[in-house]
Amino acid sequence: MIKPHGSETLNPLYVEDDAKRAELLKEAEGLPSIVISSAAAGNAVMLGSGYFNPLTGFMNKADALSVAENMHMADGFFWPTPVLNMVKDAGAIKDARRIALLDPNVEGNPVIAIQDVEAIEEYTDDEMAMMTEKIFRTSDMEHPGVNAFNTVGRIGISGPIQVLNYSYFATDFPETFRTAMQIREEIQKLGWQTVVAFQTRNPMHRAHEGLVKMAMEAVNADGAVIHMLLGKLKKGDIPADVRDAAIRKMVELYFEPNTALITGYGFDMLYAGPREAVLHAVFRQNMGCTHLIVGRDHAGVGDYYGPFDAQTIFDDITKDDLLIDIFRGDHTAYSKKLGKVIMMGSVTDHTKDDWVILSGTKVRAMLAAGEDLPPEFARPEVAKILMDYYQSEAAKAE
């Protein structure tokens, strides 16, 4: 099995021992505390569950600026995006050496982690602007990732953490949320050696299903891990529970038994396009996958990135940086001529009318109106789950 990023074994930061965790929760009652941002809570969950191996906590300013600038920490270690705990006001923890981090996403703001404070540093306007431009390739505040990154505060609290729970992810998605260690163990139990990872924040239509199967065939994979984001999305994206049900139905009916694992991870979407694609590669390596599918406009939003920018960024990433391989996917769609889903770039004799392609806007409108999607576009059982959701949303709006 492929080894984790930056270490021989995975080192998740979640405190597994029940007695030790109870002891730390008791200690937290007497510590200065601060409610962190949703982004920082997601980072804590990813650190706790091993996806951000080998990091030991939140980055300091020197590392964050270096990572933003050139995808390497100050000591030269490869990492694609800053992992930060940014707040607007650190007055409540001034001079504290150890603090409790409170979860903003769970009622009552329970302690999600304890952090040793190594530094509290304020980022300047120029530093925030540089990081924004490098990570997102835009400074437009209409970009959801840019907006989130620039509105949580500019005071960074750095230092190692001990993670005490997985926020709402483990309780709200018990069948789907898995740590990197759990996925590694499952892959090992199945005896898979070559494993393809598929990232999704959307339900899977037939083009996605076809892309996963094409990638598996191309690399002779033993199986695929369909890995869905369970955290916060932009307005209009389909909720995780609906996505989960749709993907499960598709795999149940249209994949060979024991060839696909359906899992999810607790993180808020960055919409950072190329940089986020590289981050996706890091945590897929950490969970034991040998290949990551990077498709058209991977992790993108709007028109901020070119359709294949998330693939070309890997041209300059070597095996010294990451061990995982990338499967580069073209735009896929159902070909009426050939009667199957193919990569559009693989044929030259097709016209626009030879493809079954629907815009997201058109799909949402059809589902909300109770119109069936073409079976060449979406599996009918999947479309039914989505239609029920959109119709219930339409009914609420009336």
- At 151, which amino acid appears? T
Tell me how far apart the alpha carbons of residues 289 and 198 are, in angstroms, rounded to a whole number.
10
- Report how far apart, in Å, the C-alpha atoms of 210 and of each of 108, 109, 207, 376 are: 43, 42, 5, 11
Query: For the range 2-5, what are the long-range contacts, defined as Cβ-Cβ under 8 Å and sequence gap of 24 or more?
Result: 2/285, 2/288, 2/289, 2/290, 2/323, 2/324, 3/323, 4/50, 4/53, 4/54, 4/180, 4/285, 4/286, 5/53, 5/54, 5/78, 5/282, 5/285, 5/286, 5/322, 5/323
360-368 and 380-397 helices, crossing angle to 10°? 70
Q: Is the dihedral of CA 308, 310, 311, 314 positive or negative?
A: positive
* Nearest residue to 300 via CA among 79, 138, 85: 138
Tell me how far apart the alpha carbons of residues 287 and 184 are, in angstroms, rounded to a whole number.
5
104 neighbors 35 (Cβ within 8 angstroms): yes
User: Which helix (H) or strand (E) covers residue 80, if one does?
Assistant: none
Where in the sequence numbering do the catalytic residues fall? 201-202
Tell me how far apart the alpha carbons of residues 209 and 213 are, in angstroms, rounded to a whole number.
6
* Cα 110 to the center of its chain, rounded Å: 23
